[in-house]
Amino acid sequence: MPGYEVTEPRLRCVLPFEAVPTEVRLLRRTVVQQLGRWGVFAAIDEAELLVTELATNVVKHVGEGASATLILEWLGERLRLEVHDKSPLVPSLGSVDCDKECGRGLHLLAALAVDWGTVLTAAGKAVWCEISIGSGEACQRIERAVQMLEHYQGPSDSQVPRGRKQGVGLEEAAVELIADLLHWTAAYGLDPDDILDRAQMHYEAEAEAA
């Protein structure tokens, strides 16, 4: 499934998909993988469920095979999900025939999301919702890491101005930063393997606590 990711000024991933059951399953797996890459584990279960419902509603109410796009956006303490399609028909939770026309998708949005809504676009409409992912230590660590990586200048991008990761994603910057830190530990007489083991232990303990 082709897609692209924007990392400045916030984490954002755009995933075009076709409204067919096989694509919906692939979309769900892609969302889980993407949130794992971002480290937003607290939102995975709800996001997987809501993305499935939003995409399935496109299949049911716009038409099988219709072109649509999912946008994931991490906004600090919230994760925003948007599904864009080419139909101008805006669903309404308050309509008399909502159970028939909307299925259970909008009811799940209302029950699970902190906020949600619909908006008309130039091409059709978008249905969006936001999930709370909290503001605990894990989220603060992730935000701090993103800020560091966006301004990190590693050896492979020495000609790229700081804060402008042109052609170098956060994943590559993270690898370079970890490598530099291991060089630093060795230069100061520390054991790089011990440092990695201790960092892994800290990470696993905090992930279990979350």
Is there a single domain that holds both residue 150 and residue 112?
A: no
Alpha-carbon gap, residue 6 to 67, rounded angstroms: 21
Q: Is the pLDDT of residue 166 over 80?
A: no
Q: Is the pLDDT of residue 103 over 60?
A: no
For the stretch 48-65, pLDDT in tens is 989 998 998 899 889 999
Is there a single domain that holds both residue 38 and residue 122?
A: yes
How far is the first Cα of the chain from the last one, in angstroms, to the nearest whole number?
30
Average pLDDT rounded to a whole number, residues 172-187: 85
Composition of the chain by helix, strand, coil, percent to 5: 50, 20, 30
Is there a single domain that holds both residue 32 and residue 61?
A: yes
Q: List beta partners, residue 127.
A: 83, 118
Range of the domain at 107: 4-132
Is there a single domain that holds both residue 69 and residue 99?
A: yes
Helix intervals (H) in 5-68: 21-38, 44-61
| 85 sits in which H/E element | strand 78-85
Which residue, of 132, 155, 182, is where some domain finishes? 132
Is there a single domain that holds both residue 49 and residue 124?
A: yes
Which residue, of 101, 117, 132, is where some domain finishes? 132
Q: What is the CATH number of the domain that holds 56?
A: 3.30.565.10
Is there a single domain that holds both residue 104 and residue 41?
A: yes
Neighbour-count burial of 132, counting CB atoms closer than 10 A to its CB (0-12 exposed, 13-18 middle, 19+ buried): middle
Give how many domains the chain has, as a whole number. 2
The confidence score (pLDDT) of residue 169 equals 64
Is there a single domain that holds both residue 18 and residue 57?
A: yes
Which residue, of 132, 154, 182, is where some domain finishes? 132
> What pTM value is reported for the model?
0.61
